[in-house]
Structure 1
């Protein structure tokens, strides 16, 4: 089987490219419109304006495009191949001696190019743009007293005190509600003369029903010619900082690059913290291109049979059915991995294997 690009590769690639890009634009466009309308409720909070909302939505487009690409790829592929099948062009290609496997390779080549662009965007463009979007929203709502940095964690200000947190999590309480935990916390208090009056380091800062509590505290207080150190295991922290605003400034695992996710996983394991949420997102990034190609190739057999007699509605329905079925299967294995604590690599490898196995059975049946 020859793998070098031929004229029919370009023809099939152009047909698939067109329908995938069109489907992609529709899905992302609808999501952008819904996201923008959802921001109206926050307009007017602090300094958050309609312009901030528009900027926030525009900066999140790369992340939305990355998320919707697998769905757009399978729907677009089915629509493009279905159009060729309905006009008997696939039959003509088969009459020229091209096997179904060779035609499937042509589709895979075209989708591989788009998938490579999406992998690059998901690792470089989307995290940067999402960080900018979060900064715009957080800074506008807080009047400039909060800022989130991809490299420096979370920064916040209240009066003469500046807070820096390396990371944090919003945890569910057993009886309901949430508990915010900030880690690697530093509090910088500035004196009236503009000099650093004290530096407080805390291993963690927790906000629960009774307010803020600092744990494993080390405080250095600076005088004109002296410095004193105080250490306590735990102490309450009297502050008016809003925990909900701080939580919104924390970087979510899905907005981090694979390298940052790996660093976070190692940090949490080293300190005995739960890293499953980060492992879930981390391995989903690695299996992203595999999932896209497996999902689309699993749908290819339908283009050689039933789609020939079906219309656009049938192709659209099958594409959505495939994408939804694959998403549910992946969600099921992912939740099982989290609950039973088995390797996420296995959880993300099983769905494409199952889909390709079913597709292979259908492929052989149609070939027969």
Structure 2
């Protein structure tokens, strides 16, 4: 049975890796097409866009892993079914539960690989890719540090502590030096919004430091003539789907402490925790599709059915995520409900097949 376990497990693993090998280059083409408008801007050329695409692929590989596992199991085990090997196994006394167990052994290795990609590789490559793109597209000197985002433009230094979106900033400090007058102007704003093609600062406190002393003035709102591009700042914002689990946990704690809405991050946190379970559940879904009609159903129809199941899962998971965000559904329930539904359906089908 150990030989049979390895044989079925490697069929699932090989099919999944083959699926990823086909899907990821296609996604890479779409990424390059999406970057086409930015190529030629400042120092962002085709080489930089290609490197950004390569550094982004681990994130997409992690997101695609459950669907790739479903399609890979259909391909790997489907090849055995087309050669009547599964029929021969069952005729030799191998039960459906034994086939499921052997396939799940391969799924465990795939789930471990997905965790490695999602928790270690993807966060690093995504960070380097975002930094590369930002540096190439920036017309000024910019840098992301633990103290926030720094930029230099027209002799002034800008520090942004929190970028909520490309068009919404919080905790901004602007330092300007007037050498002719010998003054330093330090401006702090509670927030900034990009409206009608211009930045607007809110909750402003401005200090003028000179030989005569310090003058402080407070302004409720004022325009800010800055060259910072909202599209550039969007790529600086951390995507919650890319942060590792421990990074998400600490960020959620930070948002709770500051009384901010952490709902979207909580949903993603539990989804990442349950990601290995989802990968294994897709194998359970694939096996009834194969054993139900191993002789009469061709590979094309099986793959089409797998794609439909993947689309259905995506729609269901998105629905539960929106329910959590809009109606206050518990994030853990929103994350675990879709895998439970699919596992329950797969087990019912397996009972019928068995």
TM-score normalised according to structure 2 size: 0.89
- TM-superposed deviation, 1:57: 0.6
In structure 1, the partner of 2:319 is 332
CA deviations 1:91-127 (Å, max 9, x no partner) are 3333443321122121111121122122122122111
Alpha-carbon distance in 1 for matches of 2:274, 2:129:
26
Q: Spell out, residue by residue over 1:192-246, the C-alpha distance to the aligned partner (whole angstroms, 9 max, x if none).
A: 49x993544433223334843334444555546x974736363414322333332
For residues 185-196 of structure 1, the aligned pairs below 5 Å read 185-190=172-177, 192=179
1:216–1:231 contact (8 Å) kept in structure 2:
no
Alignment partner of 1:115 is 2:101: no
Could you say which residue in structure 2 is the equivalent of 1:72? Answer: 68
Residue 50 in 1 paired to residue 36 in 2?
A: no
* Distance in 1 (alpha carbons) for counterparts of 2:75 and 2:313: 18
Change (3 A) 1:273 1:327: same
Say which of 319, 333, 340 aligns to 1:346: 333
Residues 1:32 and 1:230: Cα distance change in structure 2 (over 3 Å): same
The match for 1:164 is: 159
Alpha-carbon offset, residue 23 of structure 1: 0.8
- Shift of the 308–184 alpha-carbon distance from structure 1 to 2, 3 Å rule, reads farther
1:27-66 to structure 2, matched below 5 A, reads: 27-66=23-62
Which residue pairs with 2:216 in the alignment?
230
Q: How many residues align?
A: 352
Distance 1:191 1:120 in 2: 51
Higher deviation after alignment, 281-290 or 212-221: 212-221
Whether 2:268 is the aligned partner of 1:281: answer: yes
Q: Name the SS for the 2:329 alignment partner.
A: coil
Q: Is the 8 A contact 1:222 1:228 kept in 2?
A: yes
RMSD: 2.6
Distance 1:165 1:283, change over 3 A: farther
Q: Residues of 1 paired with 2:217 and 2:348: CA distance?
A: 67
Q: Secondary structure at the match of 2:37?
A: helix
- Partner residue of 1:86? 82
In the TM superposition, residue 183 of structure 1 has moved relative to its aligned partner by: 1.9
TM-score by length of 1: 0.86
Looking at structure 2, the residues matched to 188 and 348 of structure 1 have their Cα atoms a distance apart, in angstroms, of 45
| Offset of residue 73 of structure 1 | 0.6
- CA deviations 1:274-331 (Å, max 9, x no partner) are 2222223222211211111112212212222213332220221121122111111111
CA distance, structure 2, for counterparts of residue 227 and residue 114 of structure 1: 66
In structure 2, the partner of 1:136 is 132
> Unaligned regions of 5+ residues in structure 1, if any?
171-178
Confirm or deny: 8 A CA contact 1:111 1:293 kept in the other structure.
yes
Runs (5+) with no aligned partner, structure 2: none
Instruction: Work out whether residues 163 and 187 of structure 1, in 8 Å CA contact, stay in contact via their aligned partners in 2.
Output: yes
The 3-state SS of whatever aligns with 2:314 is: helix
Q: Secondary structure at the match of 2:139?
A: coil
SS at match of 2:43: coil
Partner deviation per Cα, 1:251-294 (whole Å, 9 max, x = no partner): 23233222332233233333332222222322221121111111
1:185: Cα distance to partner? 2.4
Q: Verify the 8 A CA contact 2:160 2:173 in the aligned structure 1.
A: yes
Alignment equivalent of 2:348, drawn from 351, 357, 361: 361
CA distance in 2, matches of 1:358, 1:69: 20
